[in-house]
Amino acid sequence: MNKLKYYRKKNKYSQKEVAKYLKVSQPTYSNIENTKKELTLTQASYLAKLFKITISNLIDDDESVTISKEDYQELLKLKDTIENIRSKYKL
């Protein structure tokens, strides 16, 4: 079971409910969940918020969830920025 489906079921949401939250159709969300369509960074952010997890929890080490190369690069930049802030302010 992929992470999207795992967290959706863990939080007792239907595909239709998650699709409505993402403002996409249920078939579109089904395609995302079944890796037939890529998850955007914005969608990953919304799902992480909905499931009360981090984006990393949602996508790390799971080949069944894919995001575009551009969104992945943006995530890496954000990760570096966060690490720099933590280091600077000793968080």
Q: How confident is the model at residue 5 (pLDDT cuts 50, 70, 90)?
A: very high
Q: For 19-77, write each residue's pLDDT tens digit.
A: 999 999 999 999 999 889 988 889 999 999 999 998 888 877 645 556 678 888 888 89
Report the distance separating Cα 76 and Cα 24, nearest Å: 26
Report the alpha-carbon distance of residue 91 to residue 86 in Å, rounded: 5
Predicted TM-score (pTM) of this structure? 0.66
| CATH of the structural domain 3-66, one choice from 1.20.1260.10, 1.10.260.40, 3.30.470.10, 3.40.50.720 | 1.10.260.40
**What residue segments make up the domains of the chain, in order of their start?**
3-66
Residue appearing with tokens 């007792």: 12
CA distance 19 to 15: 6
**E strands of the chain, at which residues?**
none
Pull the structure tokens for residue 68: 């575009």
